[in-house]
Structure 1
């Protein structure tokens, strides 16, 4: 039997805040270890303050752990310089945030928002391959013909669908989604979750989603529960 490759791995990961030795030092993650198989959809759930948001930030390389090892597709994030870590996040990781303000740049068109990671990586924003990729993804998320519009013309659910398109544009190793349906009505939430599910099912992407919503978590293959900074 061939062992399935892990797209994301955490080994003994802890994250604490505050001065060492201080009575006010807080441990948000406490020795977390897990392996997320490539081509899977994992939901991370838990009560407020359980550490699930810190889990996502550390796993995605947005924050460095106090101790332990985080690997994305075998690359040890702790071995990377800040510049190399920034490149990895840009080229090999996709993000969908809860806040629409974090997801989209209001001064850019919808299509420009989708292809932004490619442009930041040095691609010509007017190049035929970049334009074709942007239009392909907008069609996939049901927004064909809207590329020239601004983000403010879209509903919250439509903005999240654009965010999913942008998360897919670099064909990333892992897509991290932080409460992506928290502010959406049930119909819009289902559309966003279906896009994430299809990214796994059709493209073989790996999705790690933090959510407080049991309905959203039910779309995942695996549910990890955090409590007191630990997985249980």
Structure 2
């Protein structure tokens, strides 16, 4: 996978930390991280690509646009009277990075079909242009099966490959819902569970994060976690 798109089933579910974990697990490979649109931050503030670089170590961090309002990219761009990011912009930037790096991680904003521009362009459209697989990051608790199934269905309808799902924040004391979802998510997605990242992973020191990240991920994502993730030891 020269280019891998990372999408969530919603916001604030660990997408950036999962992106950092995949980057950290790509040891010995050159990695670029592309954020098409960062919203909710002023110029100079610490954004998602900077956080990935802090946790994962040396990566090429690229942000195409930044808008101050914490809204969907299309709305935030319109309110800022700024040019939006279009799917073609994302695809062109990712392809260029792929000529210079072994792996390019494209981290979306929110979910798969959040609008980038006023014509309805989305991260899914960018993935189609790139012909890139799309990794789904999902929460552990209630509601995740439906949201994951809808995201996976949208990918299939566009002919996009979904290599699997990663749980972005596995609780230290998982309830019945999370333990059952761990087993049910692959069925909902029609794709394997490729990782379980513990809650609070982003608060680890960068050194600890890099040491531990491969153990959270399956080999398909550069990790070393073999066998099935089970409710008894989700992380």
Q: Does the pair score TM above 0.5?
A: no
| Larger-gyration structure (1/2) | 1
Task: Place the TM-score, normalised by the shorter chain, in its bin.
Answer: 0.3 to 0.5
Structure (1/2) with the larger strand percentage: 1
TM-score by length of 1: 0.35
TM-score by length of 2: 0.35
